[in-house]
Structure 1
Amino acid sequence: MVAPAVPEITEEILHETIDARTESLVSLRELGPPDFVHLLKQPIRNPGKQVGVYHHVTGVDASSSASLAAYINTLTYKEFGQSATFKTLEGTYCCYNAFSRVDMRVHAPFPGSVESYCVDERGEKRKATDELWLETYLCSVLRAYSYADDGSGETIRKIMGVRRFNPVTNTETEHRFLSAAEQLFFKGWQLGSDSVVQVPNVVSNHLATGLLKYFHTTGRYASGINLFEKLRSQNVEVASLLAKVLFMGNEEVDGARVLYQAIKEQPMDYVMLDTQAQFLLKKAQTAPTPEQKEERLRMALGCADRSTIAAPSEFGTWARLAQVYVAMEDWENALTILNSCPMFTYQDKDSPLMPEPKDVVLPTLPETRLDEIDSEPEARYSEQVDPSLLNLRAAAYRGTFKQAYNILTEMTAKIGWDQLLKIRSNVFVMEDEYRTEKQDPQAYPAKRNASTDALRGTPDHTANGEASEASSEDGEDGDTEDVGQKLQTEPDVDSVAPTFVSNGNTEDLERPSSAVDPDVAKKAENETDEEHFSRLNNKRLCERWLDSLFMVLYEDLRVYTIWRTQMAQYRAQSMQYKKSAEEWEILGSLAERLQHTDEAVEAYRACLGMRFSPKALTGILKVFEKNKSTRETVAATIRLVTWQYRWYSEFSPELFHTIRTLIEDEGAVKVRSIIQATNLPQNVLDLTHHYAALCATFRSSGTDG
């Protein structure tokens, strides 16, 4: 298989990029940035001049200095960029060790001997030991999966000039990876965790996440079961990971048994409880009868509720409980629990901080040539986009805010916006109620307590945990315009009821003969006031971040409604509704976010009709996979694989998983035949055949032999 092309980014001052990487070590908090490769070159016709070029890479074997030196060596003999007119003098490979927080480096002069060492956060040199190399190797594999693109191109566009390789290509390299993972497993918490996890632990960290992603991608469930069985004998908490792999491999009875036995030993392990709740929630969705669905949801509710008690500061437990209530169609409790979720500021992956380059060369291999893909960059450059589409804040949500927004959009998709607003007003103190209380703070002096004091207090109620980006655009002191007031299309009857006055003099008014006795009226008024106060006292204050989510959801729905209304009007008049490809892509993403699948596919198809878009094609691919549309899935995958390879990525776990799933369902021979029958150049088809060959190497289900 031909390797991806090598991008060349030229630095302004010699070695300034290596210095920049050294200075950034102290600020790294996750798995670290992609590996960094620096070459010092000399023009053949001008020996007195030297040029520094670099690129980034993931997936290279980092188990020893020899393997990294071998990678540098391949670059010196490869014809790329201006190699024909330059001679390579030396190369430096930098690979971050997130366990020990040092940068492992290999320096290879040509000719000369290879030097390996590591640099700590203070920039000081240290000796590279075998233990450090073991840690570095494991980190490099985890980074390869963490920094891989899902096919949409979002990850590829974040960092310029990254070559991505598959770190585990056969059973031999798998054994090395899993052996390293077993040795370092109980140090995994040192690597940190996903942004939705507040406190990393033995089973919630980047190492555990990377292992699960590997088994999900490759289907090597037997290897995963074997690994976690051995680790469970040392720590019962690993049972949650073992159960997850068993569920992946459709061994549900064994998975449930493992969790049952483990929870008897540790009844308040929140990860195991959450795993149970997740499994029961999934089974409820496929229950054959309403009675069975209700029973499974009831059990899921018990597990999810208990997990919030076991880990009250974790977002995932509360989010799962909210999902269970949504599945039970208990909308008020779903909204109440969502409001209780502890929110964390999103921590993005570590990325390289490099000085402005002098020059950038991004070559294209002939093997990746495809007209519809090659024309994409130029087409994107000339497109105009409506500012209202660029300002949709929900598109930028990540971490806990993205998951909370997904729960909110799921509720909206099921019950509608108007019903959601009614439920919101039943659960939370609305602005008009709050103002009424604020205007008459002594209305109920005998009833004052902590709850009523909270109602009469400042409206500046901040989000749980740290202040979030979701509320950064709110007004000062959190006194934002209430979304319910803003969106109400019908006026409140009480607000427009006529008030009768007689020159301010009420003494001259005669009491009607049918009027209620004043004592009785006063008693009834007091009862009404107490009922109103009791109802208000049971309501909650909406967290500021959730209030912001409602505003963002309103904006999404507003833009979506305008789009669909205009589309209907144009169709009624037999006119073409025109948008640029970028606008169609944004509209498709908007519809997908609001869980309107058919409309999302419609927009994505309109985008692809104008130019190639990996994001649009990935969105459609999800629907093809769900509907088991084999030929359409293959056609989309071929183009996405080619686009990935065009931008130096020979490995995408999601695309590999798509091919593997197709082979499991249809068989390797049929899938290969469909690939080969596609009317595209052979060099392009070979790139996808490479993924199919990986499945055969791993002896995936559906492959021959």
Structure 2
Amino acid sequence: MVVQTSVPELYEDESHSVIEIRTDSLQTLRELGPPDLVHLVKQPVGKSSAKQVGLYHHVTGIDASSSASLAAYINTLVYQPNDRQNKITSGLYCCYNAFSRVDMRVQVQIPGTVESYCMDERGNKLEATEEHWLETYLCSVLRAYSYADNGSGDTVKKIIGVRRFNPVTSTEQEHKFLDAAEKLFFSGWQLGSDPEIQVPNLVSNHLTSGLLHYITTTGRFTSGINLFEKLRARDPEIASLLARVYLAADEEVKAVQLLHEAVEELPMDYSILDCQAEFCNRKGRSDLALEIAKRGVVAAPSEFGTWARLAEVYVAQEQWDLALLTLNSCPMFTYQDKDAPRLPEPSRVSLPLDPQTMCDEIDDAGATPPDVDMVHPTLRRLAAGNYKGTFHKAYILLTEITKKIGWDQLLKIRSQVFVMEEEYRNEKQQAPGSRNASTTALRGTDTPQPNGHGEIDNQDDSGPAPSSSGTGATTNGSDIVSPASDEPQAATTGYLDPSVSKPTTSITVRSGAETPQPVPPTTTQDDAYTQFRHKRLCERWLDNLFMVLYEDLRIYTIWRTEAAQYRQQQLAYKKTAEEWEILGELAQRLHRGDEAIEAWRGCLEVRFSPKAMRGLMGDLRNRPGDRRGEIGCLIRLIAWQWRWYSEFSPDLLLTMRRLIEEEGAVKIRSIVQATSLPQHILDLTHQYAALCATFRSSGTEG
């Protein structure tokens, strides 16, 4: 039996029409658009003169290829069992078309007529064409993947009242999706791109990200290869996408051959170079990856990804100074979040619970934790958890370096490559020239230069070249710095281990801002200046990252010290569930796996938490041998998602597919069935396994 979620109901404030507000917000949308909006009008049964009430909810994953399919969804809401006192008299389905930047709408009168039209950014009604519906359908599938939750519940809790469905549940629907993607592929750049990409292009945009996400989630590599082979015949740049699918399908020989051919044809295509560098680095051949990564920086000096890849290679080679200098040169972009509904608070909210999803074990007493006010202020102030986009990835690189060499050594290397405040103060008094400290930094054999033949000339340089803006790239000429909310906060309480020393202040500079010049000389040049002039000014955002990392390490040290003291005294170390979640994320950021698991388990002992369960499942996946524990986590996460109207999570489907590939479908089904949870909860997990069988995933045969 197929289980379906209940329908959340958000009652609109009589003074604010959600449809009008959505229309007004169309001109502010920048990317794929918000989830679909379904607005219903209800009135009491048998009372035609009674006052009508407007209510709504959001949806992703509904087939938006025609007005009939959207009207069919509204018809499924007419006979909902949770409200027999009222009847639906009309419904409006709104689905955003990000290609043409119009809102496709289907108005259904019950009983009565169906009207379809589209609304443009100026509020004008337009006729809906077949091309509009093709674009809308593709956007709806991409949104279903983009707005899906990874299992942690963070996305579920972000927007209240969203039903999430799987947009592709059969091979026939897959063919329809990939056919639409092929027809509109060369317009994909119009949809925008992930926040780490500065300029969307043919191979880096929301359409290509969605396609790769779908292919890797479902394991439908052959379908992906066929699609990109056809597209590559029209444009050789598609080779980078095809190579990534080959690598995901474990067809490494074909991927290497393809990349070799592609580089010969397009020697300075940064997407192809990045794919090559990533593959070589992952295979432990950072020596091969280095020159490729350098060439990638030359090919796309204003993109964050190429600089980040070069920094990764330097980390793999344990060239920590060059890794920091490269990180300092990364162009940083202000994070652009997904388009979200901008609606007022509903006057009333009804979140019915379907009997098929009821389970005491996963009841977290609502989508928001009750103990949020009981979190210690120092934990709530940790800024690293708020980083997103380029700042998040840069922080990951910084913690990777810290994990390998330790905090003290990181500070030592930092002082060797960046100008410290004391040095700068001294040089202002006795500097013998007006050399720009941010652009004279460590130049040498590691700076790639194009020679016109796709090769890299190694000149007399010894470090990565500064970005085109001198001290880091800018966007549209504006200063790019870390958001104010991410500024490090100094904690005022707690034990500070002497080994975690606070970093000394360095001289920082805003990207694109004028660099301070040393004062003309008043004394003779000495040895100290020789070292000073070869240093760089530290970007302001990177300086902030050091302070945030210091605060993370400081709080981590306090936590571990207190925990050890409690163990010594044989006392229980207690925290609220929310505090355990924060500590788990903290340990995870600092690559302390065992301590993260300790925190996740501590949280789950207090109450159910999808975030903690997701963290625990991820750890069990990285430690083969406890398949039952991993499946137990998966069952509970699927059930919790269903409780909050999410029938589809790509990450949970991927976990199920990999389990079936490794252990076989029969064994996985047996382990699920042997779990001591209610049968209706197990059936939800069986639906994920059935989907893998539908797509004929490896391990489902027989």
- TM-score normalized by structure 2? 0.89
CA gap 1:471/1:33 in 2 versus in 1, 3 angstroms = closer
Determine which of 277, 280, 301 is the counterpart of 1:312: 301
Structure 2 matches for 1:267-666, cutoff 5 A? 267-284=267-284, 296-377=285-366, 380-382=369-371, 384-440=374-430, 443-444=431-432, 447-451=433-437, 464-465=474-475, 466-468=478-480, 470=482, 472=484, 488=501, 529-628=525-624, 629-666=626-663
Does structure 1 residue 677 correspond to structure 2 residue 674?
yes
Post-superposition shift, 1:597? Answer: 0.8
Q: Tell me which residue corresponds to 1:96.
A: 96
Does structure 1 residue 37 correspond to structure 2 residue 33?
no
Post-superposition shift, 1:438? Answer: 2.0
The CA distance in 2 between the partners of 1:658 and 1:490, in whole Å, is 41
Post-superposition shift, 1:77? Answer: 1.5
Matched letter for residue 589 of structure 1? E
Say if 1:428 and 1:541, in contact at 8 Å, map to a contact too: yes
5+ unaligned residues in a row in structure 2: which ranges? Answer: 442-469, 489-497, 506-522
The CA distance in 2 between the partners of 1:309 and 1:389, in whole Å, is 41
The CA distance in 1 between the partners of 2:43 and 2:234, in whole Å, is 55
The CA distance in 1 between the partners of 2:435 and 2:157, in whole Å, is 54
| Deviation sequence 1:180-226 (CA, Å, 0-9, x none) | 00000000000000000001100000000000000000000000000
The CA distance in 2 between the partners of 1:357 and 1:51, in whole Å, is 12
Matched letter for residue 684 of structure 1? I
Structure 2 matches for 1:137-152, cutoff 5 A? 137-152=137-152
The CA distance in 2 between the partners of 1:209 and 1:424, in whole Å, is 35
Matched letter for residue 567 of structure 1? A
SS at match of 1:84: coil
Structure 2 matches for 1:185-264, cutoff 5 A? 185-264=185-264
Q: Tell me which residue corresponds to 2:56.
A: 54
SS at match of 1:90: strand
Say if 1:463 and 1:545, in contact at 8 Å, map to a contact too: no
The CA distance in 1 between the partners of 2:683 and 2:689, in whole Å, is 10
SS at match of 1:351: coil
Q: Tell me which residue corresponds to 1:520.
A: none
CA gap 1:652/1:475 in 2 versus in 1, 3 angstroms = closer
Determine which of 63, 66, 88 is the counterpart of 2:65: 63
Say if 1:259 and 1:276, in contact at 8 Å, map to a contact too: yes
SS at match of 2:257: helix
Post-superposition shift, 1:48? Answer: 2.5
Post-superposition shift, 1:87? Answer: 1.3
Post-superposition shift, 1:487? Answer: 6.8
SS at match of 2:369: helix
Post-superposition shift, 1:491? Answer: 11
The CA distance in 2 between the partners of 1:486 and 1:627, in whole Å, is 31
Post-superposition shift, 1:2? Answer: 1.8
Matched letter for residue 145 of structure 2? Y
SS at match of 1:392: coil
The CA distance in 2 between the partners of 1:607 and 1:452, in whole Å, is 46
Post-superposition shift, 1:452? Answer: 8.7
The CA distance in 1 between the partners of 2:332 and 2:640, in whole Å, is 36
5+ unaligned residues in a row in structure 1: which ranges? Answer: 285-295, 477-484, 493-525
Does structure 1 residue 23 correspond to structure 2 residue 24?
yes
Post-superposition shift, 1:111? Answer: 1.3
Say if 1:471 and 1:544, in contact at 8 Å, map to a contact too: no
Structure 2 matches for 1:685-700, cutoff 5 A? 685-700=682-697
CA gap 1:45/1:475 in 2 versus in 1, 3 angstroms = closer
Q: Tell me which residue corresponds to 1:122.
A: 122
The CA distance in 1 between the partners of 2:504 and 2:24, in whole Å, is 60
The CA distance in 2 between the partners of 1:164 and 1:568, in whole Å, is 44
The CA distance in 2 between the partners of 1:130 and 1:673, in whole Å, is 47
Post-superposition shift, 1:283? Answer: 1.0
Say if 2:502 and 2:550, in contact at 8 Å, map to a contact too: no
Aligned-pair identity (%):
61
Say if 1:34 and 1:58, in contact at 8 Å, map to a contact too: yes
The CA distance in 2 between the partners of 1:26 and 1:254, in whole Å, is 45
Matched letter for residue 57 of structure 1? V
Post-superposition shift, 1:468? Answer: 4.7
CA gap 1:111/1:15 in 2 versus in 1, 3 angstroms = farther
User: Which one has a bigger Cα radius of gyration?
Assistant: 1
Say if 1:462 and 1:544, in contact at 8 Å, map to a contact too: no
The CA distance in 1 between the partners of 2:487 and 2:630, in whole Å, is 46
Q: Tell me which residue corresponds to 2:459.
A: none
| Deviation sequence 1:280-322 (CA, Å, 0-9, x none) | 11111xxxxxxxxxxx211111111100000000000000100
Aligned residues: 643
The CA distance in 2 between the partners of 1:468 and 1:169, in whole Å, is 43
Structure 2 matches for 1:134-173, cutoff 5 A? 134-173=134-173
Determine which of 661, 664, 668 is the counterpart of 1:667: 664
Say if 2:439 and 2:536, in contact at 8 Å, map to a contact too: no
The CA distance in 1 between the partners of 2:589 and 2:267, in whole Å, is 37
CA gap 1:565/1:468 in 2 versus in 1, 3 angstroms = farther
Post-superposition shift, 1:380? Answer: 2.6
Q: Tell me which residue corresponds to 2:444.
A: none
The CA distance in 1 between the partners of 2:312 and 2:409, in whole Å, is 18
Q: Tell me which residue corresponds to 2:512.
A: none
Say if 1:14 and 1:52, in contact at 8 Å, map to a contact too: no
The CA distance in 2 between the partners of 1:221 and 1:67, in whole Å, is 29
Post-superposition shift, 1:435? Answer: 1.1
Matched letter for residue 51 of structure 1? V
| Deviation sequence 1:486-538 (CA, Å, 0-9, x none) | 9758999xxxxxxxxxxxxxxxxxxxxxxxxxxxxxxxxx99x4321111100
The CA distance in 1 between the partners of 2:148 and 2:504, in whole Å, is 52
- TM-score normalized by structure 1? 0.88
Say if 1:14 and 1:51, in contact at 8 Å, map to a contact too: no
The CA distance in 1 between the partners of 2:137 and 2:504, in whole Å, is 65
Post-superposition shift, 1:464? Answer: 4.3
Post-superposition shift, 1:31? Answer: 0.3
Matched letter for residue 533 of structure 1? Y
| Deviation sequence 1:552-601 (CA, Å, 0-9, x none) | 11111110100001111111111111111110111000000111111000
SS at match of 1:91: strand
Post-superposition shift, 1:463? Answer: 7.6
CA gap 1:235/1:436 in 2 versus in 1, 3 angstroms = same
